[in-house]
Every structure is written in structure tokens, then in C-alpha cells.
Amino acid sequence: STDEPAPQKSERAAGGEAPRRQPEGPVRGEGFTMDGLEDSPEAAARRDAAFLNLCVSLYQSSFIHPEAAQGEEEAAPELDLDVVRANVEMLEMLRRKTAGNLTKEEQQILDALVAELKMAYVMKVPGS
């Protein structure tokens, strides 16, 4: 047997690219700053608010707000049933994926949003 030196490991990935380093500290981009893994109460509150904003945004996007004619009262929002069904599925997925990680209030809000969308859907679907 020949005593050849073992090949040295390269710092390059299989595709020839150097591995990317994780950023240290906040990541700043055009128009936003991402906290990274900051654990302060303020950062946690921002993340909690962002989660609830996402849930409420999904809920609100289920409604179509038709333009009211000039001089008329604002028309009542209508449901887009395909969007409602998709948003209920997404909210339920979020509920499953976050099980045990939400505050009592967050869980109540998420449950209420899902229940309201399901009820609105059932009330609009013919034959239900």
C-alpha cells in the first residue's frame, strides 16, 4: 500500500461555491431591518405582532371591497369563496404549526378568525 496523504477538505461546497456565513447582528436591507435572533422583550413583541398581522391579513384578503359609485355609501364587502377556502386552509396550517407556541390571546384570535371565515363561507355556499 502506498502512503498517500489524505485529500484535504476544501472550504468550497460541491458546486464550487464557498459556504455562506450567517450574518452577525441585525440584517439591514432596503426599507427594512431584520432582527435576527434578538431575544429582547421588544423584539419578541414585534414578532408576536407580525404573526397576528399575518393572520389578520389572510382574513381580510378573503373579502372583496367593491368600489362605491360616487355619492353612494360604501358597498358592503363580498366574499371571494376560492380565496376564503385557501385562506382558511392557510390559517389552519398556521394553527397546527404553532400549536403550543402561541399565547392564550394569540390562540383565541387565530381561532376566532378561522371560525368567522368558515361561517362566512358556509353561509355563502349554495345548499349549505
Question: What's the CA gap between 59 and 27, in Å, rounded?
Answer: 30
> How many angstroms separate the CA atoms of 22 and 25, rounded?
10
- DSSP 8-state symbol, 60: H
pLDDT per residue as tens digits for the range 78-93: 788 888 899 999 999 9
With contact defined as beta carbons under 8 Å apart, do 116 and 62 qualify? no
Burial class (CB in 10 A: 0-12, 13-18, 19+), 109: middle
Does the pLDDT value for residue 10 go beyond 60? no
Residue 67 has a CB neighbour count (10 Å cut-off) of 8
pLDDT at 62 over 90: no
Q: What is the pTM (predicted TM-score) of this model?
A: 0.60
CA 91/CA 113 separation, integer angstroms: 8
**pLDDT for 15-60, tens place per residue?**
566 666 666 666 566 666 555 556 778 877 888 888 999 999 999 9
